[in-house]
Amino acid sequence: MQYRPLGRTGIRVSSYCLGTMMFGKLANADHEACVSMVHKALDFGINVIDTADAYSQGESEIIVGKALKGRRNNVVLATKAALPMGEDPNQRGGSRRWITRAVEGSLQRLQTDHIDLYQIHRMSPDVDVEETLSVLTDLMRAGKIRAFGASTVPASDIVEAQWAAERRGLARFRTEQPPYSILNRAIEHEVLPTCQRYGMGVMAWSPLAKGMLTGRYRRGERQPDSLRVKFFPKAMSDEASLGAVEALIPLAESAGISLMHMALAFVVAHPAVSAAIIGPRTMEQLDGLLAGADVVLTDDLLDRIDAIVPPACDVAPLEGAAYAPPSITQTSLRRRSLIERAAA
């Protein structure tokens, strides 16, 4: 297992990060089985684990807390907050009121006195970034978190947050957690260069494009009975994605590797990427993912991937998982009022 700098935090992380979104009632409610997966990953050399309070409404964090008993000091522990944790409209977002409560809940569930990397799961457009940076800075100074970052943030918002931190004398986002795979390369255009410019670590989620790059989803074949199909029906049947997969499979075979291992090696080949987040549901899946940890792609193979899916190009739809700014989601910000249109 390779170890890389997490930006300029001084922390070194394994090139694979164990993601635990599948732990808990969402996908695998067997706590002992999930704990065994954590231990297998740690024994293999993975030293960073990523979870979130919203994963099965805290159950994933509880499982991770159980798994890390006696091994906490050797693990870079990352979690996230900001997604809804209840019906109360104030149990979400990036406000000081909520983040202060959310971090205490995570610390309790994880059975630890500090979090190595605390991330804002999604930025809240209705919250000043200075509000969020301020509370995170205070939590860091109080010793409850060691560093903080965010997930799925556009390049313009990354820059704004960096400027706000400098203007106000606050600590800054040190990491970004974006979606990145062979089928989702749009972040190569601005997000990854921006992270490099500011010395931010990058932990990429969905390196297998929601499982599309496992090779289980093929054009003209019946879709497997999986959670991916249930939650992302459009993405898992997208014609452009399936077409790219059909072109990528023989490319991987010609190199003597599986599509899945080629996809993971592609993500960690980018110089901005600190780690690729793998999210197994079962021990069998974990074993299959770990088997590709030593795969390194040649320049020729990377060039041939570029010919199938060009750099900075998104082929696969993220289907609700990506950040959509108010300028897109709010109709009033995309259209003049009827009176204004009539007057024009």
Q: Which domains does the chain have, with CATH numbers?
A: 3-343 (3.20.20.100)
Give pLDDT, residue 170. Answer: 98
Count CB atoms within 10 A of the CB of residue 261: 20
CB-based contact 163:189 (threshold 8 Å)? no
10-residue block means of pLDDT along the chain (344 residues)? 96 98 96 98 98 98 98 97 96 97 98 98 94 98 98 96 97 98 96 98 96 86 71 78 96 97 98 98 97 96 98 82 72 79 72
| Alpha-carbon torsion, ordered 154, 78, 281, 56, to 10 deg | -80
Cα–Cα distance for residue pair 275/2, rounded to 1 Å: 10
Q: Annotated active-site positions, please?
A: 55
